[in-house]
Every structure is written in structure tokens, then in C-alpha cells.
Amino acid sequence: MKKLRRTMLFVPANNPNMIMNAPVFKPDCIIFDLEDAISLKEKDSARDLLVEALKTFEYCNCEIFARVNPLYTPFGKDDVRELVKAGLRNVRLPMSETDEDIKNLDVLLTEIEKDLGIDRGTVKILGAIETAKGVINAEKIAVASSRMLGISFGAEDFTRTIGSERSREGEELFVARCKIVLAAAAAGIDAIDTVYADIEDEEGFEREAQSARKLGFAGKSVIHPRQIGVVHSIFTPSKEEVYRALRVISAIQEAEAKGLGVIALDGKMIDGPIVDKAERIVTLAKGAGLL
């Protein structure tokens, strides 16, 4: 079944308390951050702490990511190497601007997997698009490696690269968000929306999360546990949606059992995208505990 990635909770990798406690807030994914949240002098110690945490704690129901430092920094490659060795299986690559950035990481991962004796392709990549150049190249980034499980949007840096300010309404993000959703959808991977930095502005956050769902994002990055519940409730399908999705799926199963090629429900054809949508809704409903 497809994995739920409604929320990706950023946790600074130098915070032992949050490293241990983040799962109790039940985000779908946790992103341990070695990049922006960690000052230069703490890069090594935060990495060491995270390595120990990955070896020690069980994060049963959360998918674990690490936002490593960009590979062109003195820390990036060591981050990837040490963390994969400790068990990390998902890397969020910041500042993904071209397919080359992804390919470089792919090569590094292949090398590490070989050294560790694990299957090639085990470690997946989430490419974080945070610049105008990255947005323009989103389509290529999304298909740059078979390891891609998604692309995410980082609005804070993006607005700086286009010479704008981040607004409450978010008009300056609209095109980029759409482009990222389209690129991800075309590649068959997840699009993850940007963080909303003002944790006190619950109304603004909720509005942005609602628009993320409407635009087609699979989920949203969050920076505070209080934001998780809001996103999950927004990404929870309505009872009617769930009911329809279940009917679509049972019609498919019935048709397959009967060996029928063309499937109809209530006089309408059911095609691939409808089935995909139904499956997505059922996944969301299960994640929300509705099924």
C-alpha cells in the first residue's frame, strides 16, 4: 500500500528530547535536520547524536528522513555515509536545483550501499526544491533517479531567489507550488508542500494546508507538533469520498473476478486515474483511522 506522507515533521538533530519524543505526536514522517537548524559548530555532534538515535530508538509508525547538508558542503557526504550506515533509508536533499544534484547523490548512495552490502536502490531520495532554478528544473529532478520518492517545496529560500517576500496569502508561491505538484504527479511520486514558519498564526497555517490539499500535494512539511493535527484533519477525506472510493475499488475487484475489461460504476467508466484516486483516498482514510 502507498505510504501516507501527510506530515513531515522537522526535528533539529541536536535536540535529544525531540529526537526521542517526536513519534508520540504521530507525524507520518519525521525529518531529522542536520542542515538549517544546526549551526556550523554543531554539525558533527548533531550527526553523531542522530546516528546513535537511529541505532537505539524504534520509530515504528513513522517514516524517517534526514535532511543532510548539501553535498557540496564539507558535511554533506559524511552525513549521508554515517546515517545510511546507522540505518537511514530516506534522504532529503536540500537545494536540489538540477537533475545533476540528484544524480550525484544517487552515485554516492550506490557506493555506500555497495560498501555496506545492502541492495542497490534501498535508500530513497526526497529532493527539496528551494530556488527558482530548482522549480524550473522540477520535471527533470523528479525523474533524475529511480530512488526518487518525492519532491518537496521550500518556500523560504525560494522567495528570496525570486526577489520577493513570503506573504500570508502566498500568491508568490502559487506557480512554483503548481509546477512541483505537476512534476511529481507526472513522475508518479509525492509532492510535499513547504513549511509555514509562523507557528502562532494557526489560521494562516490552516489556510495554506487546505490549499496544499486542493493543489494536489501529498502532504506538508511542518515545524511544530501542534501543526500535525491540523494537516491530518485537512488531509482526511470526507465520508462521502471514502464511500465512493470503496465502491470504485469493489467494482474493480468484481470486474477483475469476472474477467471484464471495461468497468463501469453508476453508468460511468472507471479508468486508471479514478482507480488511483480511489486508492489514495482509501489510504488516507486508513491513515486517519476511518477504516
Partner 1 sequence: MSNMIKNAINREIPKYIEGIGELKAFGGAFAYNPEGKKAATKIPKTFTGKNKIIENIKTSLELCGIKNGMTISFHHHFRNGDYLVNMVVEEIDKMGIRDITLAASSLQSIHAPLIDYIKKGVITGIQTSGIRGKLGEVVSREKILDKPIIIRSHGGRPRAIESGETKIDIAFIAAPAADAYGNVNGVEGPTACGAMGYAMTDAEYADKVVVVTDYLVPYPACPISITQTLVDYVVVVDEIGNPKGIVSDATRITKNPMELLIAQKASEAIITSGLIREGFSFQAGSGGASLGVAHFLRQKMRQEGITGSFAAGGITGYLVDMLEEGLFKSLLDVQCFDLKAIESIKNNPNHMEMSASFYANPHNKGCVANQLDIMVLSATEIDLDFNVNVITGSNGIVMGASGGHSDTAAGSKLSIVVAPLLRGRLPIVVDEATNVITPGETIDAVITERGIAVNPKRKDLLDLFKDAKLGVMSIYDLKEIAEKLVGKPRKIETTDEIVGLIEYRDGTIIDTIRRAK
The answer to whether 17 contacts partner 1 (rule: CB under 8 A) is yes
Shortest Å, Cβ 202 to partner 1: 11
- Shortest Å, Cβ 21 to partner 1: 6
Q: Which three cell numbers stand for residue 120?
A: 542497490
| Angle, CA of 122, 127 and 132, to the nearest 5° | 165
Is residue 205 involved in binding partner 1 (CB under 8 A)? no
In the bound state with partner 1, the residue whose beta carbon lies nearer, of 24 and 269, is 24
Answer for which of 3, 114, 133, 226 binds partner 1 (CB under 8 A) is 226
Give yes or no for residue 269 binding partner 1 (CB under 8 A).
Answer: no
Minimum distance between the CB of residue 58 and partner 1, rounded to whole angstroms? 8
287 binds partner 1 (CB under 8 A): no
Considering the complex, state which of residue 21 and residue 253 has its C-beta at the smaller distance from partner 1.
Answer: 21
**Does the annotation list 67 as a binding residue?**
yes
Give the residue, chosen from 21, 122, 164, 250, that forms a contact with partner 1 under the rule CB under 8 A. Answer: 21
Q: Where in 37-66 is the site for partner 1 (CB under 8 A)?
A: 57
Q: What is the 3-state secondary structure (H, E, C) of the chain?
A: CCCCCCEEEEEECCCHHHHHHHHHHCCCEEEEECCCCCCHHHHHHHHHHHHHHHHHCCCCCCEEEEECCCCCCCCHHHHHHHHHHCCCCEEEECCCCCHHHHHHHHHHHHHHHHHHCCCCCCCEEEEEECCHHHHHCHHHHHCCCCCEEEEEECHHHHHHHCCCCCCCCCHHHHHHHHHHHHHHHHHCCEEEECCCCCCCCHHHHHHHHHHHHHHCCCEEEECCCHHHHHHHHHCCCCHHHHHHHHHHHHHHHHHHHHCCCCCEECCEECCHHHHHHHHHHHHHHHHCCCC
Are 47 and 23 in contact by the 8 Å Cβ rule? The answer is no
* Residue (49 or 126) nearer to partner 1, CB: 49
Out of 225, 242, 251, 282, name the contact with partner 1 by CB under 8 A. Answer: 225
Sole binder of partner 1 in the list 2, 3, 20, 254 (CB under 8 A):
20
Residue 24 binds partner 1, judged by CB under 8 A? yes
Q: Are strands 219-222 and 7-12 parallel, antiparallel or unpaired?
A: parallel
Q: Figure out which of the listed residues 8, 13, 25, 152 binds partner 1, where binding follows CB under 8 A.
A: 25
Binding status of residue 94 toward partner 1 by CB under 8 A? no
Please identify which residue in 81, 85, 89, 224 interacts with partner 1, judged by CB under 8 A: 224
User: Is 35 labeled as ligand-binding?
Assistant: no
Q: Assess 70 for contact with partner 1 (CB under 8 A).
A: no
Was 266 annotated as part of a binding site?
no
Known binding-site positions for substrate: 67, 130
**Residue ranges in contact with partner 1 by CB under 8 A:** 17, 20-21, 24-25, 57, 224-226
Known binding-site positions: 67, 130, 157
